[in-house]
Structure 1
Amino acid sequence: MTVTSQAVRMTGRQRLVLVLLLGSQFMLAVDFSILNVALPVIGAGLGFELADLQWVATAFALAAAGFTLLFGRIADLFGRRRLFLGGMALLGLSSLAGGLATSPGLLLVARVAQGLATAAVTPAGLALLTTTFPEGPLRARALGLNGALMSAGFTSGAILGGLLTDLLSWRWAFFVNVPVALAVLAAAPVLPAESRPADRPRMDLPGAVTVTAGLLALVFGLTRAGEHGFTDPAGIGALLAGAVLLVTFWFVERQAPAPLVPVTILARPTVKWGNLAGLVAFATETSLVFLMTLYLQKVLGYSALATGLAFGVLGLGTVLGGIAAPRVLSRLGNRRTLAAGFLVQAAATAALTLLGPEAGWIWLLLVATFIGGVGNMLAIVAFMVTATSGLPSSEQGLATGLATMTQQIGITMGIPVMSAMVTAAMGTILQGVTTAVLINAALVLAIAAHTAIRREDRL
């Protein structure tokens, strides 16, 4: 065996850490979508008004996206291991509370707590992953598996939610998290030892307030726009407030002695353009799932469970893309892998504009979503490797917090934007979906072209 092959082989401890962290990240990804198909049943069981049901998903998304960057920095300053385990404990308790909820208010409080736990665990877990595996083939392999499982978790959440709701109760969509959280906490001794700066700087409170409030306003505005259109006064006001707060955050960080996000990091081309690519990757693929859900249920007449099962093919594509990504990265490099992944995704998405109202078109959907899933996951892994490369260990929590924030905002913003596109273009549901799919493909193609013409070091 050569020295090179030995250098890229994981140790036994690294494998245990990888299993532990991947299991937790998969569970968090499942939580984004597991309740979607159960919403009507939850509404009937707890007495939600129809118009208020979307808050079951929105309450989670607001907390998860709004607090991710703050918790990523807290992980750097106070300890990633500590924040990861504290977040897992909160996730287990909030999931138990959600499953036992007897009123809409209690359920929404539990969902907010689940979102806060996700905002803590995801960047802390990714920071533990990037500090456990050094930059190079090992990290690329670990991030590839992580990306594959997270994307597969998002797409399989609908399947699991449908099965649990049909066979047991919607409450098990919450309860399923509890044993996983307990298992992760029990296995905590295998995690790396705590690491944090010897001289801990003071928390940048003005930066934390402005960025968290700005992200909350942005996510709320996008959600309102998806429900009521982009002419809704509350949605427009929230989007404007979010933009003002995020611009204010930029100026606060330029003056802060110990900034929450150093401007020098935000100015790095790999961080800046890598996160832009990640935003597009997550926004387009998750919104495509929404568009294909409309097609399957409203055009072809599929049930919620059958729709979830159809997306299992997309999940298989993402797993294959995640497994293949490290080898593709080693051959092509970050920039070319990003561009290639986006090109494959754009071509597969564009093919979906051919879908018709007959049942036989399901085969085109299955093939195209599988191929698109492979391309999307290649792009996601390349984005994660790029966004966390070239930074010291002390800033890995921040880098993964930025990447996680990008992911969660992409997941949150894609659906309302595409929903508005469908509404604006709709003569029939099929016409609206086809137009939105075309716009989705054009956006992916544009980011592919942008990535292809940039130099590797200025992604």
Structure 2
Amino acid sequence: MNLGRTKDRASPATRPGAALAALAAAQFTVMLATSIVNVALPQIRAGVNLSADGTTWVINAYGLAFGALLLAGGRAADILGRRRALIAGLALFAGASLAAGLATSTGVLITARAVQGIGAAAIAPAALALAMGLFPSGSGRGRALGVWGAASGAGGAGGVLLGGLLTQAWGWPWIFHSVALGAVLVLIAVAALVPESAVRGSARFDLLGTLTVTVALTCLVWALTTARGTGWTDVRVLGALAAAGTLLAAFAVIEVRRPNALIPPRLITTGRVAAGNLLMAVLGSVWIALFFFLPLYQQQVLGMGPLATGAGQLPLAVANMLGAAVAPRIARRFGGTATVSAAMLTEAAGLLWLSRLSADGSYLADVLGPSVLVGLGLSVAFVQLTALAVDGVPPQDAGLAGGLVNTTRQVGGAIGLAALATLAGSVTAHASTRQPHLEALSAGYRAAFTVSSVLLTAAALLAPPLIRRSRTARGVPPTTADASAPPRRHDPAAHRAPTT
């Protein structure tokens, strides 16, 4: 029996292409909500009288809930039904988005953003699992992952553009109203086009493990996001980090002894899941920071308005979609591992180029060229690492695998943004004692982009041995783990049929 295929409860005439489009739209909506508020933060702050800490938590509340609950959302989708979880998540997401747009106080806005994150934690893993179920093997899966990568990248970059456009045209509430409307439209499309997967996971839910890891991730992400403003020596940050470490250790002990573990050992020891997730965490650490620092440089240093800043992200978005579209083809020709390394090096080159920006620079000279390089490298790496992270995963664990790879990206992003924001702030503070304000800001951004480039370069160099070790440790013959070898027929990283 081929466990890679699932039977649908819907009509056998299901159109996979149309269903994939609906699922990719769900992923686009989740990524859009992550970045759409960045450009509008000054207007939001004035609109609901936010403090400096409150402004930060308009972003953090969403990321905190999203990152902490992804594993729970993925396992719930496996047990309760992925289509059902996706529709429920979209409904919750739409309602929270509408509430955020109508908010007139800090508490309501931040609470609505947190509930948005809860909805997103249900949407992302369920949508990815359903998409992989539609294309369980062969080149079709590669094309599906290409569409997935394009939707993810377009959502991140498009959020900045749409946020600037709506804020300048109709005011900040419309960034949330537009997300609510989009979520409703996606919900209707999912209900009409996407079949439910008949494959289910264990009928029992690991409540103890879920609570432990959720609280641990909450403490970790909270500490990392708070450290950006208070510093790493703040007693609350240190306490939260200690609690996170203790709870994660307890979670590891719990999972070993439970038959219905939230993260069963078979998932981590399957295919190249561990390697894919580790490298995705590094990619996420610079991904989130990029969309944080680049708009700030455009607005605070170059003096661009919200609309111009958003429009300035278009080349990056187009390059992102192009890279995602060609990623499967590149992997089939050169091998999945070589493609991962080359993509990370391409993005690292773009970030190194950004590290040369200056206070008297310009968009055309300092931003446009590196944005294209970053967009191409980011999208190809994302597609290939997602393929690694779901390589050979049994269908009953597909939702959890989707939740895990999204969790590593989110937590990696939180760690990276906290560390890089602290670094940029320290460099700016030191430079401001002897340089004009704009040059000091530029110095901080240069430091953040330089370190991001170094991180990705190191990950690119470590990828081949890391993936090779992951394969050989599980008794898989080394094929495309050798970056110089062309992909063979059974290479999942090149989007060939996974073995289950």
* TM-score, length basis structure 2: 0.85
The equivalences for 1:28-427 within 5 A come to: 28-187=30-189, 188-197=191-200, 200-268=202-270, 270-360=272-362, 362-426=364-428, 427=431
Tell me the distance in 1 between the aligned counterparts of 2:107 and 2:296: 29
Structure 1: how far apart are the matches of 2:142 and 2:136?
9
Q: Please, which of 442, 457, 460 is the counterpart of residue 448 of structure 1?
A: 460
Amino acid of the residue matched to residue 314 of structure 1? L
Q: Is the Cα–Cα contact under 8 Å of residues 82 and 194 in structure 1 kept in the other structure?
A: no
In the alignment, is the contact (CA less than 8 A) between 2:270 and 2:392 conserved in 1?
A: no
Give the residue type in structure 1 aligned to 2:315: V
From 426, 436, 444, give the equivalent of 2:448.
436
1:329-359 Cα distance to aligned partner (Å, 9 max, x none): 2112221111111111112211222223323
Contact 2:330–2:339 (CA<8 Å) still a contact in 1? yes
- Counterpart of 1:3 in structure 2 is none
Report the equivalent of 1:5. none
Retained in 2: the 8 A contact 1:80–1:195? no
Q: Secondary structure at the match of 1:389?
A: coil
The percent of aligned pairs where both chains have the same amino acid is 36
Q: How many residues align?
A: 448
Structure 2 CA distance for aligned equivalents of residues 168 and 434 of structure 1: 34
User: Could you report, residue by residue, the CA deviation over 1:83-111 in whole angstroms, capped at 9, with x for unpaired residues?
Assistant: 00111111121122222223222222211
Q: Tell me how far 1:162 sits from its aligned partner.
A: 1.4
Cα 1:295–1:109 change in 2 (3 A) is closer
Q: 1:223·1:416 contact (CA, 8 Å) conserved in 2?
A: yes
Alpha carbons 1:299, 1:430 under 8 Å: kept: yes
Once the two structures are TM-superposed, the CA of residue 396 in structure 1 deviates from its matched residue by: 0.6
**Structure 2 residues without counterparts, runs of 5 or longer:** 1-12, 432-439, 473-480, 482-500
Contact kept in structure 2, 1:266 and 1:272, CA below 8 Å: yes
8 Å contact from structure 1 (residues 132, 192) kept in 2: no
Distance 1:267 1:425, change over 3 A: farther
Q: Using a 3 Å threshold, how does the CA distance of structure 1 residues 424 and 177 change in structure 2: closer, same or farther?
A: closer
TM-fit CA distance, 1:167: 0.8
User: More displaced, 53-62 or 174-183?
Assistant: 174-183
Structure with a larger share of its residues in helix? 1
In the TM superposition, what whole-angstrom CA distance separates every residue of 1:415-451 from its partner, at most 9, and x where no partner exists?
Answer: 2211111123331222222222211111000000001
Q: Distance in 2 between matches of 1:227 and 1:306?
A: 28
- Aligned 8 A contact 1:283 1:413 in 2: yes
The corresponding residue for 1:8 is none
RMSD value over aligned CA atoms?
A: 1.9
What SS does structure 1 have at the residue aligned with 2:282? Answer: helix
Query: Does the CA contact (< 8 Å) of 1:76 and 1:398 recur in 2?
Result: yes
Does structure 2 retain, via aligned residues, the 8 Å contact 1:65–1:119? yes
> Which residue is 1:17 aligned to?
19
CA distance in 2: counterparts of 1:182 and 1:290, whole angstroms: 27
Match of 1:359, SS state, is: coil
Structure 2: distance between partners of 1:441 and 1:241:
31
Q: Distance in 2 between matches of 1:165 and 1:381?
A: 31
SS in 2 for 1:354: coil
Q: Are the counterparts in 2 of residues 78 and 196 from structure 1 also a CA contact under 8 Å? A: no
Q: Does the aligned pair in 2 maintain the 1:80–1:397 contact within 8 Å?
A: yes
Q: What corresponds to 1:4 in structure 2?
A: none
